[in-house]
Structure 1
Amino acid sequence: MNFPQITEEQRLRRLEPPAGKVRMVLDTDTYNEIDDQFAVIYALQSKAKLQIEAFYAAPFDNSLSTGPKDGMEKSYNELQKIAAVMGIEGQYPIYRGSDAFMTEAGVPVESEAARNLVERAMASDDNDPLYVVAIGAITNVASAILMEPKIIGKIVVVWLGGHALHWPDTKEFNLRQDLYASRTVLDCGVPLVLLPCMGVTSHLQTTLSEIRDYVKDKGETGLYLYETYKNCHDDHTGYSRVIWDISTIAYLIDERWTPSSLVHSPLLSDEFRWSQDTSRHFIRYVWSIKRDAVFKDLFAKL
């Protein structure tokens, strides 16, 4: 598919970390792992920097769902649950996303989330891009790009996906669920900030003891997060859990916590390995994370 081209100057300008307040939507497989709940609440508690316009439920398929449609529905319901816990029901629109993954290149999956993203992006001023923060399979976002490729010039995608470029493979859950969608976002030229899992955001680990000390007593929201963390594992002795989804929110709040550089968009093989081609367009690649600063900010905002 021939995607509309933005100039390299435009792309590099969009890839500069945002200085002011950010308009954003959050695309999340909220029921899949406990880190999504932390990321959703972290974003909602960061109003000074983030203006959330909508939430999109992303599909997922693992032991917690019977398939991508069920995963998406459970994520949609979990977003509603978070709104109820925080007492903000109806304040933010929540849209159902794709009920399946892409089955071939260039063919989008219809959903109200993808359609809303197209409408919201196209209504954006060229000087005020919409940040599309994605912390699940990238199906909704890739589908929106395929439905209306002009949004490439209207958005910046911030995606937690894949593993570090030096990792032996990139068989990460978000990326590998939808190979065609992942390739679409990497290949189409959209301004992309990539936050890898293993080797980078995998440093965002915490323990039940830390959550008990700094989260549990922060009202209903804190208790919800504490119980969510507590229930994720049977034995917390010597156990820590990565909460990597919050890295995307941290990048938008203070880029000093997420050191990054410009790299050529990597190629994704059928075997889920990275390769490099220096003729390809640039993306912003986060290569490190300041774990303590991110958690300190999250705990303070609760």
Structure 2
Amino acid sequence: MSSFASVGQNPVPVKPRIIVSTDIGGTDPDDNQSMIHLLMYSDKFDIEGLVSSPSYGDGKKEEILRTIDLYEKDLPKMKTHIKGMATPDYLRSVTKQGRKGGAPYLGYTTATEGSNWIIKKANEKSNRPLWVLVWGGLDDLAQALHDAPEIQNKIKVYWIGGPNKKWSTNSYAYIAQNFSALWFIESNAAYRGFFSANSTPEKLSGKNYYANYIRGAGYLGKDFKNNRYEGNVKMGDTPTLLYLMDGDPDNPMRENWGGSYEKLSRSPRIVYNRNTTLADTVPVYSIVEFSFKGPEVNIPVDSACFTMAVSNQKWDGFYLGSGNYAVRYAPKQKETLTYKVTSTIPGFQEHSGALVVSNSWPGEQYPTDYYLGASWFTDKPDPELFDGLWQGAKTVLKWRNDVLLDWAKRWKWLAEK
């Protein structure tokens, strides 16, 4: 990593306006860790919304409110060191419930408290864009764009994709197909540099950082260890915050705490009208769509009516009308996978097959790809920037030690008597 310029943290031109869309409280507690980080750095942002958007799992806004309650207890200590921390009552007022569960094939359904809040804040007059930081599925963002297309030019999006893309393939497809001019960072792998064990001093490693720097300090510190990671630092969503804490966010290609990205002109989409075999290869993170013919049934179009099982997980498939059915899948890593498609609809034929996933993004070009505008960015493909399997991850890993040492200062405040 010595080939990178050591620029450190640069001043941010203006305090960013942000809405965070999170699946906190779902199956992966790293959102809890990132929420703690955000609240401890609330002076760095104008936080205009905290939206619970669990496309998978049982997340709900009460988990955000619970974390705000802990922050409220620690706030007096932090306020003795720094000004401008967000007040707990204000944070509660901008916490909203979004969609629970992924969107259907169309990519949107009905408005939620969260999607309406995104529209409301995006349409407020400001000389600053509204940054929508997505830590889970894109479902509430897609709904907001559907209901108020004019906000496309008023927001900028930084999305942690990868595994989250699996759970919001339909909303991603809707956005990529209909809002290609959106300003959008799609981080499918670079964010993984933040929880890499490579090039990390032992005292700052994920398993040791808690014992060396957090040590149960304050109410937030005690809660940091209260999940299945047992204090092991993951925080895969935190790069969205780091990106807005270091330098000019209008330039995603710069060196930055939250990663460095390049323009993405097309997003791969592969459509199969047949069962696939190991002779079929698709790029990692691509949208893979399976279309089937089956019986014509009297159910509403866009109804979930069959399932595709992949690696002990299941995805809903949808009825498109006139005996047409479809399901989307987005592989999160290089692998060989098998799938099985079943339905309780009489006469629906069972399908099964296999697929090889290559570690190439965006990889081979397909006639069904989504073609994107000039402001869509993604992980840099330079082989020197891979951290193991993960494309562009060294652009985040490079700054991990600096970030954690900076955060350690704030944990020290909470340890004071």
Give the TM-score category using the shorter length: 0.7 to 0.9
Match 1:269 to one of 278, 287, 293: 287
Distance 1:301 1:263, change over 3 A: farther
Displacement, 1:191?
0.5
The structure with more helix, counted as a fraction of residues? 1
Displacement, 1:146?
0.8
Give the superposed CA RMSD: 2.5
Match 1:232 to one of 229, 233, 237: 229
Tell me the residue number matched to 1:91.
Answer: 90
Displacement, 1:149?
0.8
CA distance, structure 1, for counterparts of residue 215 and residue 193 of structure 2: 22
CA distance, structure 2, for counterparts of residue 79 and residue 281 of structure 1: 34
Structure 2 unmatched ranges of 5 or more: 1-10, 73-86, 196-204, 248-255, 269-285, 289-328, 332-361, 380-391, 412-417
Deviations 1:66-97 (A, max 9, x none): xxxxx243xx1210110111115422121010
CA distance, structure 2, for counterparts of residue 279 and residue 34 of structure 1: 34
Displacement, 1:213?
1.3
Tell me the residue number matched to 2:208.
Answer: 209
Displacement, 1:177?
0.9
For 2:71, give the aligned amino acid.
M
Distance 1:232 1:217, change over 3 A: closer
CA distance, structure 1, for counterparts of residue 99 and residue 129 of structure 2: 23
Answer yes or no: is the 8 Å Cα contact 1:24–1:132 preserved in 2: yes
CA distance, structure 2, for counterparts of residue 18 and residue 253 of structure 1: 6
Displacement, 1:279?
5.7
Match 1:29 to one of 23, 27, 40: 23
Q: How many residues align?
A: 256
Distance 1:176 1:106, change over 3 A: closer
Answer yes or no: is the 8 Å Cα contact 1:160–1:196 preserved in 2: yes
Structure 1 unmatched ranges of 5 or more: 1-16, 66-70, 163-171
Matches within 5 A, 1:244-259: 244-254=236-246, 256-257=256-257, 258-259=259-260
Tell me the residue number matched to 2:404.
Answer: 295
Deviations 1:119-157 (A, max 9, x none): 1111143x3110001101111111111111111011001
For 2:240, give the aligned amino acid.
T
Match 2:14 to one of 15, 20, 43: 20
CA distance, structure 2, for counterparts of residue 269 and residue 158 of structure 1: 19
Answer yes or no: is the 8 Å Cα contact 1:124–1:154 preserved in 2: no
CA distance, structure 1, for counterparts of residue 261 and residue 410 of structure 2: 25
CA distance, structure 1, for counterparts of residue 166 and residue 129 of structure 2: 28
CA distance, structure 1, for counterparts of residue 170 and residue 215 of structure 2: 40
Tell me the residue number matched to 1:102.
Answer: 103
CA distance, structure 2, for counterparts of residue 280 and residue 221 of structure 1: 41
For 1:100, give the aligned amino acid.
G
TM-score normalised to the size of structure 1?
0.76
Displacement, 1:217?
4.0
Distance 1:278 1:28, change over 3 A: closer
Tell me the residue number matched to 2:373.
Answer: 281
Answer yes or no: is the 8 Å Cα contact 1:27–1:55 preserved in 2: yes
Deviations 1:31-57 (A, max 9, x none): 122221222222222244311011000
Displacement, 1:195?
1.9
Displacement, 1:207?
2.8
CA distance, structure 2, for counterparts of residue 241 and residue 278 of structure 1: 35
Match 2:34 to one of 31, 35, 39: 39
Matches within 5 A, 1:56-67: 56-61=51-56, 65=57
Answer yes or no: is the 8 Å Cα contact 1:30–1:57 preserved in 2: yes
Displacement, 1:261?
2.4
Displacement, 1:264?
1.9
Paired residue secondary structure (1:298): helix
Matches within 5 A, 1:2-17: none
Deviations 1:97-135 (A, max 9, x none): 00232112253342100011111111143x311000110
Tell me the residue number matched to 1:6.
Answer: none
Paired residue secondary structure (1:221): helix
